[in-house]
Structure 1
Amino acid sequence: MADPLAELTAAGVAIWLDDLSRTRLASGSLADLVRDCHVVGVTTNPTIFQRAMSHSDCYDQQLSDLAMRGVEVEEAARMITTFDVRWACDVLRGTHDASDGVDGRVSIEVDPRFAHDTERTVAEARQLWWLVDRPNLFVKIPATRAGLPAIAQCLAEGISINVTLIFSLQRYAEVMGAFLEGVERARAAGHDLTRLTSVASFFVSRVDTEIDQRLDAVGSVETKGMRGHAAIANARLAHQRYAEVFASDRWRPLAEAGARPQRPLWASTGVKDPAYADTRYVLELVTGGVVNTMPEATLRAVADHGVVRGDTIRRRYGDAATAMAALADLGIDYDDVVDKLEHDGLTTFQESWAALAETLQQKLAAAKRGGGEEEDPT
């Protein structure tokens, strides 16, 4: 029988799961996906953690202990999320070792409230790296302007980084520049470059969502014909820039010193428009040396009815450029789109972080009451 996930892996796509919860860890669900569905990595974000803690009693014992110790909400959030990520790192450690450190990675994001503060981002990344204390961790840093120097600094210190919330080709070029700078500095500092890895999370489906709304607002025959073209074209052009950078004279001496390229990671691959095939952001972005992080529903859809057709990126750079030019001709302001997407993405993560803090505040208060302490009337 056909195994589309195995075919995807054979085509060079690393399959990562875009989800994590203590329920998934305790039930063995993550281990099952690693064993049966070719999953070789995990990504998380504040939204995922907020959802996990709101719908599970698996955190109750730790919450009770934290409440007993009088731990504040922010530190409780850090303790709980790093516990889950450390556990997931242990589940994936065999994969990490078998891939010589390329895969088997689990990502945890810095507090999104620090996205515009370089120094606080670096400080938080150091803390998370120390707390999780696993070689297969990725610390996620948003690709804001303030995030770029933080990315370079963390890599220079030997911290492996997942750069997140990339939407624009220009920002992606800057991210790769920060990666190269960080690896050059790490080499100068004597770090083992073979152990230092990074991915760049280029978001996909949200681009179609935003541009399709703008096309629908125009409502012409031409704009309707361009719906659903932007996201995949944008990602393919990002890959073209990746291929150029990692064939450059600047990269060559780093590769000779053992450095590994910063792999493109296709994020936001769940389909949001039911008019589109539920596997499109996976099967249309296949090539060697990339990562695709999927919600479980998308992963199951690919396993059930996905048809892997070989490389769907490298020979389509020209088509992608044509599609983006056609969108510009229709009045789509690319720079405005990607700026809005970055802003909205950060806002969503910050709102999820605030919701997580509120959930934890309520649960810690309930745990204190359950332990016999009086609730603060204020």
Structure 2
Amino acid sequence: MSEANPKKGVFNIFILDDSASTRNIAKYSLEQNLPCSVELFPDLNLLLRKVPQARPDLILLEDNAEDDLGISACETLKKDPASKNIPVFFLSAKKDPTKRVAALKAGGVDFLLKPFYPEELVTRVRIHIQMHRLRVENVAQIAEQKALLRVLCHDLVNPIFAAHSLLDLKLSLGKPVEEPTLKSVLKCCQSALDIVTHVREEHSLVKTNKQFKSETVVLAEAFEEARSTLSERLAKKKLTLKIDADESLQVEIKRVVLVHNILNNLLTNAIKFSHEGSAIEITARKDESEEYCHIEVRDYGIGMPPEILQNVFKDAAKTSRKGTGDEAGTGFGMPLVKRYVEKSGGAISISSTEASAASDPSEQGTTIKLTFPL
């Protein structure tokens, strides 16, 4: 089973054994007693080629008395990131206990001597598949919990920074805090509360494997809300945010996700890598079929080198770097954006031209394109 795409309800088992009778007995026993599909392989190379794409829930692997081919195959599977976590169960013809131990040391989870008792095979296979699926589910939930922690650490910064900047400016100048400023601060606090509330809701949904509910969002309003949250950052670098979106254009998505988890992260990056006094553009358009909406965030900043561009959406990759105003970064923003775009049924792509002495200023910078169904 793929950790990225776990199967539901049906186990997928691969069996490799040079004995047709052993393969057939194992297949029949498993399919009659487990909700599974079994694929038989008479040849090791065929199995090794198929495993990375199919990623079965368990592999029954022959380990005969004449050679150590099964052990070598297991070692090969365990070295490949695509198959290293798939349980390998040996059907062994070896009577020597040290040989069986060697199979387990190679990465096997269990072994059964041939000829085997079918009911024992079924029971052991069921246990190992259930353990494997629990482990995969735990890994997936841990990854989700880490992502939510990053949301709290990363996305709360924008509204808190905005509220702090508004109050700090007034206090540093010794001026009273007027009602418009208080309303802006209150709005920022509400945004922070919205993010916390969403993370709490998503945390509870992770445990039940459910998705958060979407709502109808007017894009022009979402863009203006993002501009309001980031107004202090824009003003600090004297940047102009140009918004171009039809007032009637709407998408089905959770508002806090679109504004804070997606737009604010994209615009914060654009601000970070833009030159002082330049412009950032955000546009929204229907495609010709009127079935999809395309949102673009475009800056004319320093762009991205190829090594960062190809890894920008990867969690484990080191893509953080200083901005044009020496701003620091975490590298969490873009992977979080991709996560939320795809969880909301959308797609994301990026193109970038790195600034250089030879590049046209109007061509350099980065464009992020989001696509959502209407």
- Tell me if TM exceeds 0.5: no
Larger % of helix: which? Answer: 1
Name the TM-score, length of structure 2 as normaliser: 0.22
Higher-Rg member (1/2): 2
Larger % of strand: which? Answer: 2
RCO comparison, higher one (Cα < 8 Å, 6+): 1
Name the TM-score, length of structure 1 as normaliser: 0.22
